[in-house]
A = this chain, B = another copy of it.
């Protein structure tokens, strides 16, 4: 499915747009192609876009002072990603986004999103619900962090997104779970 159809179908689950409204909405997006390993947002960048993933897999991650990486989010087809903190507070990026595989994304400028939200009530409705879902997912992950040990979180992740198992290297899975690659290795090989 191409990006336009994918986005149309994605939005129609939450909001009702006429064909003309959708075409107008879609006209604000730019299709970008990236190769595996390419960077989309770097720490320190001015962030003014968010991204709807058409194909491939991205990661949004944070690098701490000890150069350890923590993955905030994997983003696959129909997922949205950006540095929402920077985007919302108009500050510089503190997280990075890059490509785990070759990827195609639809880029929407923040100013355009706000314009579209103001112009088309249903677009604002869509973004409210999208963020709702993100918020709930984020709270669930937080709870999982507090309540479950690394093994349980690993199993939970693979239950929720089995496609990740073959798609992303294990040291990235570890970085998502908040543990080291060594510990992850020991979890599924006995001890």
Instruction: Identify the A interface with B (CB < 8 A).
Output: 62, 64, 68, 70, 72, 84-85, 88-89, 117-118, 121, 124-125, 127-128, 131-136, 138-143, 145-147, 178
Contacts and interface: CB of A to CB of B under 8 A. Distances in A.
Top 9 A-B residue pairs of the complex, sorted by shortest distance between their CB atoms = A146-B178, A128-B128, A138-B138, A135-B135, A70-B146, A131-B131, A85-B136, A121-B121, A124-B124
Contacts of A124: 121, 124-125, 128
A88 B136 contact: yes
A85 B132 CA distance: 9
B84 A147 contact: no
A80 to B, nearest CB: 11
A41 to B, nearest CB: 14
Given A64-B147, A146-B178, A147-B70, A131 B125 contact: no
Nearest to A178: B146
Given A88-B133, A131-B132, 7 more contacts: A85-B136, A85-B139, A88-B132, A117-B128, A124-B124, A128-B128, A145-B178
Contacts of A70: 143, 146-147
